[in-house]
Amino acid sequence: MVYDVAVVGSGFSAISLVNNLLELLPASASIAIVGDDSAFGRGTAYRTELHLHRLNVPAARMSAFADRPTDFLDWLTKRGRTVDGGSFASRHDYGLYLRDTLASSLRSKQQRARVDFVKAKAVSCLACENECAVFGLSDGRELKAASVALCLGVGTASLPRLTSDADIALLRRVVRNPWRLGWLSRVKPDDTVAILGSGLTMIDQVLSLRNAGHRGKIHVLSRRGLTPHAHSHVPVQSVEPALSEGRLEISEILADLRTQVRRGQDWRAVMEGLRHNTQGLWQSLNQPQRSRFLRHALAWWNIHRHRVAPQVYEVFDALLKDGTVSVHAGFVSKIARIDGENRLTFRQRGTSVETSLAFDWLVNCTGMERAGIGHSPLLQNMHEQNMLEIDALGLGIQVDEESRVLCCDKIPRQGLFAVGALTAGQFWEITAVPDIRNQTRDVAKRIAKRSTRNISDLNDNQT
């Protein structure tokens, strides 16, 4: 199989890139979408059907197209959804919207590139040159493409202090991937649930538990015990951050932002203003400065930057106040079955005191792996062959400012791109829809420039 472009992956970044490619590529071009996920484009986040699983970005900023900012709002209006630009639509609706945008592009009667869905995983890279890449697929076939975009996202982080040789009775009560929602049907109403991780995934799972009829105690444990803040009920206007010129130390940047808030600015407005400067600020930091940010400021960044919809926060906050949910700050010491009970033992933060909690279910909500390749045989294979390098701080893989993948010699492969969370080492703020849609538009333009190559030339070069 030979194509002009191969899009490897099946999440939002893949569907966004394909939509842009269909607008920019000539009708003579061919695109292969490589992935075995039946819910292409919706990914884990957008296939949920629980109405309280909401977007954490206002609907007005969630268009899939950088040049059509009202596209999502128009879609909602046509379907009778009463959502204004400042409201937070359901993630289920957004998944349907993504499905419809791709379907609309594929139904277009205008001249467009050929698109083939290749229902297999790319598991190895057999060749990776500037002119062509060759992939081995899980079904035994090979696929060649002049340009390739890796849209593989990142995987779920592993649970600490839990080994594969743990007691089988314990392992049956451990939920390693909470998005495989079959586990919810096995939870009894009064079961005690322990959740590791206190971010957005934790809040989603707490809401899912309540929706499924669970009424028991929920313990939440993370290293700092911080939970996400809420968006304002009233949309805020962004305020330009007042950063002193030449101040690049993380502590100095934080000091400037805190001073601005103490002087009366709404912290949410400051964060909104900072959003437009985040990538530039990140790229101005050297590696030691970035490392200090990850060690000391990341947890606070996450709860202020990645906020939840107000109606979601109200439900969660009520559970905190009535004692249904308890949040603990500490470090896991042991997960074991002791005297017939499943127990989570942790050392409380800032002390040597250890606490042991009995649980019926232990749920992994520790988030996504940072290294970004552990979930993907393809990325591991390419790394072993020096076709790509892991970011020095474990933030995905190394790419340049044009999203081209860097190999071991730091030279970019002209036709090999990465999109989305895999590129966090270069761009940092590259997980939200507004950032990814800009990136995919830029990458699609670069790929389109390469598409003038005749497909017969590609065949000649590879025979």
Q: In 3D, which of 388, 374, 418, 378 has the Cα closest to residue 137?
A: 378
Distance CA 96, CA 89 (A): 12
What SS3 class is residue 38? coil
Max Cα-Cα span within the chain:
70
Q: In 3D, which of 378, 382, 426, 434 has the Cα closest to residue 404?
A: 426
Q: Which residues contact 270 (CB under 8 A, 6 or more apart)?
A: 239, 241, 257, 260, 261
Q: Which residues contact 48 (CB under 8 A, 6 or more apart)?
A: 91, 92, 95, 204
Query: Is-contact 132 145, C-beta < 8 A?
Result: yes
Q: What is the CATH number of domain 168-229+308-364?
A: 3.50.50.60
**Strand (E) or helix (H) holding 7:** strand 2-8
Q: Please state the domain extents for the chain.
A: 2-155+369-462, 168-229+308-364, 250-305
Q: What are the mean pLDDT values of the chain's consecutive 10-residue runs (463 residues total)?
A: 93 90 92 82 66 84 89 90 79 89 82 88 90 92 95 76 74 86 90 96 93 95 95 87 79 90 93 88 91 90 91 94 96 91 94 94 80 80 93 91 90 92 91 90 93 54 51
Q: In 3D, which of 18, 231, 218 has the Cα closest to residue 118?
A: 18
CA atoms within 13 A on the CB side of 240: 3
Which three-class secondary structure string do you get for 446-457? HHHHHCCCCHHH
Confidence at residue 323, expressed as pLDDT on a 0 to 100 scale: 95
Confidence at residue 193, expressed as pLDDT on a 0 to 100 scale: 98
CA pseudo-torsion sign 131, 23, 91, 95: negative
DSSP 196-256: E--SHHHHHHHHHHHHTT--S-EEEEESS---PPBPPSSPPPP----PPTT--SHHHHHHH
Q: What is the CATH number of domain 2-155+369-462?
A: 3.50.50.60
**Strand (E) or helix (H) holding 115:** strand 114-118
Confidence at residue 179, expressed as pLDDT on a 0 to 100 scale: 78
Query: Is-contact 146 458, C-beta < 8 A?
Result: yes
Confidence at residue 51, expressed as pLDDT on a 0 to 100 scale: 73
Name the E strands within 248-399: 325-338, 341-348, 354-359, 361-364
Distance CA 211, CA 15 (A): 30
Confidence at residue 109, expressed as pLDDT on a 0 to 100 scale: 65
